[in-house]
Amino acid sequence: MEPRWIDQPTAPSSLPHLALLRVPPGNGLYGVLTSPKPIGVQTHYMGRRTLPCVSEACPGCLARLATRDEWYTGLWTGSPSKHVIAALTPAVAWELTDKLQPRLNFRGIKVHLTRAGKAANSRLLLTLPDPENLFTSIPDEPDLRAHLLHIWGFDQGELTRDGADYADRVRKAFKSNGSTADAH
């Protein structure tokens, strides 16, 4: 048996790495919005992961798993300073959009996200300390869609395919967790 040797290194992703961060219980998360508006996507929770619902051959739909809306925004955090993608609940995304409706762009607005309880899945709360005081020295707007696709394991080219590669990868992940999407 011979190893699979590689002659050429693979080109690195052109995206800088932005971590996907869910607000932890406790002190919460302070930061400045770097996205003009949050973006949403329908997801399934499967294999101990949140994965997007895809229109063609969706493993979550085939397994009859419920969909839920997830919302995301770019956030420049303090202490330590880093650029992340913050996961928002639909209620917080709606509240943020409702409170800042007159604005066309939310970039530069300071937010404080906290949990109502001590559990990691307790209700997410939003505070806007001073929505009139905009920060102007923040990182460029992240391409949230491209970053999320990268986190979920999609290639940019897969956006135009039928989703079969994605479905196969998710089914394999299910098998490693003891069940398959086909079993339901």
Residue type at 57 in one-letter notation: A
Q: Where are the domains of the chain?
A: 19-179
Q: What is the rounded distance in angstroms from the CA atom of residue 42 to the CA atom of residue 50?
A: 10
Average pLDDT of every residue of the chain = 81
Tokens in use for 81? Answer: 């300073």
pLDDT at position 47 over 70: yes
Closest CA to 107 of 131, 127, 79: 131
Beta strands 19-22 and 82-88: pairing type?
Answer: parallel
pLDDT band at 41 (very low <50, low <70, confident <90, very high): very high
Residue type at 173 in one-letter notation: A
Average pLDDT over residues 80-86: 89
Q: What pLDDT does residue 182 have?
A: 42
pLDDT tens for 104-118 read 889 999 999 999 999
Confidence (pTM): 0.76
Q: What are phi and psi of 149, to 5 degrees?
A: -60, -40
